[in-house]
Amino acid sequence: MESNRRDFLKSSAIISAAPMFVPQRAFGANDRVTYGVIATGGRGRYLNKNFQAIGGQCVALCDVYEPNLELAKKDSPEGVKTYLDYHELLEQPGVDIVVLAGPDHHHCPMLLAALKAKKDVYAEKPLSYSFEDSKKMVDAVKSSDRIVQVGMQRRSSPSVMRAKQLIDDGIIGDVYQVRPQWDWNVARPLDNTPLAGNIDWDRFLGPAPKRALEPMRFRAWRQFYDYAGGNMTDQGTHLMDVAQWFLKSGPPKAAIMHGFIAKTTGAEQPDVFTAVFEYPKHLITWTLNYTNAYENGWSIKFMGDKGTMILEEGGWHVYAEPWKTDAPAIFQELAVGPGAGLTGTNAVQAHFRNLVECVRSREQPHCTVETAAQAVAGPHLANIAFKQGRKVTYNEAVRT
């Protein structure tokens, strides 16, 4: 173990508390990439700010909810054009890239429309609303000449890449179990009070079943099956992607899930759950608890027969096996400085930079639609298992 440690230190020059990202040049005034944002809710506005921070020029915004659109305009250059219908934004000349940040049930139709309009794309995760949508989206991108980056920014974090290299080098040996978790004390009853400002409810529903306006369905769309896969696909896509990436595995063979709604009254999706994913040579046990913040945030434990790696927002640590109480980490890298978390603003901006580089080179980005489809496959499978109350295999889910 010690010789491996010395070799790794020599080859990668890694040190504790190493800086997360090497600063990169923003685009020059004469070669700015232009983009439009479709869906300017909280996430869409966050992406808009970060794209501008690396030199991108926002020229178009679209949202079905007027207050969101007005907030996004305040963060954008003067003269930015605004739209209610995203198809009209896609017709605007001079838009190089579109950022898609709408609800999950819009991900597929928005991507297909963007490809038809010959736009390169930054698409928020999870890739899809369903297995069927995943296939449509992968097939459509394959048959196009467009560059599509999916917003799983850990893929562009140099620190996460260095952690993966350690796993590849066999530092923790053979991994038989991975334990992702996400704990926040944020669960509370949904707010169904009237919305302030105008909303085009029919456009929000889009391909979803038609129903009368319920404000909580707009405010908390992730919590309803008509629009999303809940916390399972929202957070699970990130963590399952890292686990599968590090272990070089495809989607799971089977999944089972148990959970319930503890405090999110009005929701359809559980706010406390555990899912177990079966692979040929390991298990992934993924838990989420939105009623407790003892270990606040996310973490992934890779448990090998020679050691354990713990990856979390503040960095990562590796401990030798057999672990002893208070044993020091044999490797670690800490996130330091503003925005330096493994998923913070630096990671998001690095992900955007990778997209822009690929738009110019026409090479594939760090997170392709194929990668994103594999990342969300397990969460989709778990949701099916939860609804049916039984273990479900990947082959039967994809076949149906």
Q: Based on the structure, what is the number of domains in the chain?
A: 2
Judgement on whether residues 137 and 205 belong to the same structural domain of the protein: no
Last residue of a domain, one of 152, 182, 217: 152
Residue 382 neighbours by CB distance under 10 Å = 29
pLDDT band at 11 (very low <50, low <70, confident <90, very high): very low
How far apart are alpha carbons 265 and 261 in whole angstroms? 7
Phi, psi at 329, each rounded to 5°: -70, 140
**Environment class of 189 (CB within 10 Å of its CB; exposed 0-12, middle 13-18, buried 19+):** exposed
Find tokens 């850990």 and name the residue: 154
Instruction: Please write the tens of the pLDDT for every residue from 128-155.
Output: 999 999 999 999 999 999 999 999 999 9
Judgement on whether residues 308 and 297 belong to the same structural domain of the protein: yes
pLDDT of residue 400: 61
Domain ranges, residue 48: 34-152
Last residue of a domain, one of 152, 185, 212: 152
Judgement on whether residues 294 and 174 belong to the same structural domain of the protein: yes
Task: Please determine, for residue 10, whether its predicted confidence score (pLDDT) is greater than 80.
Answer: no
Task: Please determine, for residue 72, whether its predicted confidence score (pLDDT) is greater than 80.
Answer: yes
In a domain, 274, yes or no: yes
Over residues 307-325, mean pLDDT: 96
Last residue of a domain, one of 132, 152, 172: 152
8 Å CB contact between 203 and 62: no
**Environment class of 143 (CB within 10 Å of its CB; exposed 0-12, middle 13-18, buried 19+):** exposed
How many angstroms separate the Cα of 297 from the Cα of each of 150, 183, 340?
22, 5, 15
**Torsion, Cα of 105, 46, 231, 101 (10° steps):** 10
Judgement on whether residues 257 and 375 belong to the same structural domain of the protein: yes
pTM: 0.92
Instruction: Please write the tens of the pLDDT for every residue from 164-173.
Output: 999 999 999 9
Judgement on whether residues 85 and 111 belong to the same structural domain of the protein: yes
Burial 347-365 (b: 16+ CB within 10 A, else e): bbbbbbbbbbebbeeeeeb
pLDDT of residue 399: 82
Instruction: Give the domain CATH number at 389.
Output: 3.30.360.10
